[in-house]
Structure 1
Amino acid sequence: MTGVALHLLRHGAPERPGLLLGRTDDASTAEGLTVCAERAAGLSFDRVIASDLQRCRLAGERIGAARDLPLTIDARWRELDFGAWDGKAPGVIDPHALGRFRADPDACPPPDGERWSALVARVADALAPVPTLVVTHGGAMRAALHHLCDFDQRAVWAFDLPYGAVLSLRLWRGERTAQITGLRA
């Protein structure tokens, strides 16, 4: 049994880097879109899915057009909702609250934001059973690793997932296990 390829591609660099961009719909730079298209060029997939936020959607449109594949928009692949912190720089957020969130994002979510477990649940629900490229966000990629590989919340932050990073996994139908087959940053 060979499994099914799942490629997770983090969107390109946003026009306003350094902010907590959960649901804030900032665009990627032109260079960021180009990096995403270049990273996808060498991958094998039959389907393109993207978060509905433009920093993912625009890259997904370009990649799909290059392969003559339709783009499926799926909001379940969005970044964690940072609530009251969304669109803000970490330096302007109460450092104690931010520290509690980083230590335990499920027990201490951002004010009016999303819990880690909610992100993991919606990403798990979005997983596709065909060879797929998903243009998504760093948090959603980590949620997929948590769900598929059973890494704990702290372990998923050990993965360096810069803008334009590709995480390739091999999935087996009916199992909640995956094999990491590649990480390109």
Structure 2
Amino acid sequence: MNTTEFIIMRHGLPEQADCLLGRTNPPLTTIGWQQMYRSSAALEYDLIISSPRQRCSAFAQQLAQQHQCPCELDDAWQELDFGDWDGMKIQQLWLQDELGYPQYWQQPFVYSPPNGESSQQLLSRMTRAITTLAVKHTGKRLLIISHAGVMRMALAWLLNTHQQRNPHLSRVELDHAAILRFNVFIDQDEQQWPQLQALIPAPPISISRE
């Protein structure tokens, strides 16, 4: 079977969730761990690949150990580097127009975070990773633990909307521990054909009031 299955799961709720988190590296909260275990409970996979950020990698490595599954850390799946904005409060970024965040949100392929990574750079590293993995692990099912920005870019790439302003940012709800599934089929001419399968919200978590 010349098809590779990709299951990309967003990390759970981290500390500093009200901040713009790219290279900023807070751990998961207790709720974040619960969210990820709930989302991954029924998944089947042959290999786990994770962003090296601890809000992804800590869970990925623990899950791999529990299921005796190989696990790799790969920089290609880390979040966009937001440069000077990284770690800042999101509300502050919206309120201070001079910082340029509203313009970036509206046209992310025109504007980039100051001293950060562009959307085109994120798109390029992500698609290179998908192309490589589709060949290297043909016939396998891959669980990738990553970030909202990467998943939104993957969705834009799958639907070929990545040059149409910001629908991947403004028109898609992507909660913590949500899942994006797609296949990549390789034909006899070695051309790759990606196909979206599903965008799955995270199951709800009951929070004790005690």
Q: TM-score, normalised by structure 2?
A: 0.81
> Separation in 2 of the partners of 1:179 and 1:167?
8
> Separation in 2 of the partners of 1:11 and 1:115?
22
SS in structure 2 of the partner of residue 26 of structure 1: coil
Offset at residue 75 of structure 1 (A): 0.9
2:110 is matched with which residue: 95, 107, 110?
Answer: 107
Deviation string, structure 1 residues 111-168 (Cα, Å, up to 9, x no partner): 1011101001111111222310100000011111222331335222222111111111
Please state if 1:138 is matched with 2:155: no
Please state if 1:156 is matched with 2:168: yes
Equivalent pair of 2:47/2:71 in contact (CA under 8 Å): yes
> Separation in 1 of the partners of 2:47 and 2:77?
15
> Separation in 2 of the partners of 1:122 and 1:154?
19
Aligned match of 1:121 = 124
Aligned match of 1:183 = 200
Letter in 2 for 1:169: F
> Separation in 1 of the partners of 2:180 and 2:102?
27
* 1:31-180 mapped onto 2 (5 Å cutoff): 31-93=31-93, 94-95=96-97, 97-127=100-130, 128-129=133-134, 130-152=140-162, 154-157=166-169, 158-173=171-186, 174-180=191-197
SS in structure 2 of the partner of residue 6 of structure 1: strand
Question: 5+ unaligned residues in a row in structure 2: which ranges?
Answer: 135-139, 203-210
> Separation in 1 of the partners of 2:161 and 2:33?
30
**Following TM superposition, where does structure 1 have runs of at least 4 consecutive aligned residues deviating by more than 3 angstroms?**
none
SS in structure 1 of the partner of residue 151 of structure 2: helix
SS in structure 1 of the partner of residue 192 of structure 2: coil
SS in structure 1 of the partner of residue 166 of structure 2: helix
Identity of aligned residues (%): 28
> Separation in 2 of the partners of 1:182 and 1:99?
26
Which has the greater radius of gyration?
2
Deviation string, structure 1 residues 46-104 (Cα, Å, up to 9, x no partner): 11000000000011112212221121000111111110000001232332511110111
Letter in 1 for 2:97: P
> Separation in 1 of the partners of 2:64 and 2:161?
31
Letter in 1 for 2:53: L
> Separation in 1 of the partners of 2:4 and 2:198?
11
Larger deviation: 152-161 or 115-124? Answer: 152-161
Equivalent pair of 2:175/2:201 in contact (CA under 8 Å): no
Equivalent pair of 2:52/2:73 in contact (CA under 8 Å): yes
